Amino acid sequence: MSPQNKPDRVAWLQGPAARCDEPSDVAQFPWKLVLLGAPGVGKGTQADLLNRRTRACHLSTGDVFRAAGSRPDCDQSPAMQAALGYMRRGELVPDSTVWEMIQERSECLHCTGGFILDGFPRTLGQAESLKQLMDSQGLALSAVVSYELPASEIVERLGGRRTCGKYKAVYHVTERPPKRADWCDRCEGRLFQREDDRPEAIKVRLETYERSTAPLIEFYKNLGLLVEVAAKGSPDDIFEDTLAKLESRRVREVARKVWATVEDHRSL
């Protein structure tokens, strides 16, 4: 795989009938991550950076909906058409539609390079369904990263966000500008502004986050999976902080497992 390109993720973006031409490399310790945080906090940017460094596949539910919306030729089920309506208004798509989409793509949770779930789960119901599915398939999350940022900065960030239509790389007009304005550095495709980054949709998305998604922080804290990261500073600084916290968590986990094995032997 070219170091510039991320895995193509077609199985994730288009559904299980599609196969990735460039699957993720096999990782020795595949990260299985969930990223939490209000819209605009920079989850997509961090997922992209994490993908480039760790090769874990970036699985964004928002990207699946946007990909479906940008392919007018493809068969859009009534549920998908309704989902796109919710998305344009900045509201959450109903759990049943989202869950159907995740189940169809559950093979992506076995990706050899690991995965980074971005935008899912977003409600307690989704988090509980994901836990049951992963438990039943012998999978476990490595960590849940929660990014935190004041609302005023979030609004500024969302207004300047631009996305690449092909690789979904995320830029910002001032904070993370592309080398050539409006064009992606990696594939030279045109950048666009998301429909739900309009002011009225931003307001709905922030309120919805507080009501439906913020409770997940407590849910994952209780499961001992939460890693908190302040989403202030440059994307690279936030990324280095994320990586350092994840690595130290991994070291602690390995030490804990070694210690448990030693204790088991002692008690024999």
Q: Identify residue 88 by its one-letter amino acid code.
A: R
Nearest distance, CB of residue 254 and ligand ADP, angstroms: 31
Residue 165, Cβ neighbours under 10 Å: how many?
15
Q: Residue 194 catalytic? A: yes
Q: Residue 161 catalytic? A: yes
Q: Which two tokens stand for residue 97?
A: 């539609």
Q: Residue 43 catalytic? A: yes
Q: Which stretch binds ligand ADP (CB under 6 A): 28-36, 71-79, 92-100, 250-258?
A: 92-100
Per CB under 6 A, 8 contacts ligand ADP: no
Per CB under 6 A, 7 contacts ligand ADP: no
Q: Are 178 and 184 in contact (CB under 8 A)?
A: yes
| Active-site hit among 55, 122, 157, 176 | 122
Name the nearest CA neighbour of 105 among 143, 57, 72, 153: 57
Residue span 125-144 as binding mask against ligand ADP, x where in contact by CB under 6 A, dash where not = -x------------------
* Between 39 and 178, CB nearer to ligand ADP: 39
Q: How many residues belong to the site for ligand ADP (CB under 6 A)?
A: 18
Per CB under 6 A, 87 contacts ligand ADP: yes
89 CA to centre of own chain = 21
**Cis previous bond, 121, omega within 30:** yes
Per CB under 6 A, 122 contacts ligand ADP: yes
* Between 111 and 117, CB nearer to ligand ADP: 117
Per CB under 6 A, 205 contacts ligand ADP: yes
Among residues 13, 49, 59, 92, which is the contact residue for ligand ADP, using CB under 6 A?
92
Per CB under 6 A, 196 contacts ligand ADP: yes
Angle of the 78-89 helix axis to the 199-208 helix axis, nearest 10: 100
Angle (CA) 141 214 148, round 5°: 85
Per CB under 6 A, 48 contacts ligand ADP: no
Among residues 55, 119, 130, 239, which is the contact residue for ligand ADP, using CB under 6 A?
119
* DSSP H helical ranges for the chain: 10-14, 43-54, 61-69, 78-89, 95-104, 124-136, 151-159, 199-208, 215-222, 235-266
Rounded Cα–Cα distance for residues 149 and 204 (Å): 17
Positions touching ligand ADP (CB under 6 A) are 39, 60-62, 65, 86-87, 90-93, 98, 119-120, 122, 126, 196, 205
* Residues forming the active site: 43, 122, 161, 194, 205
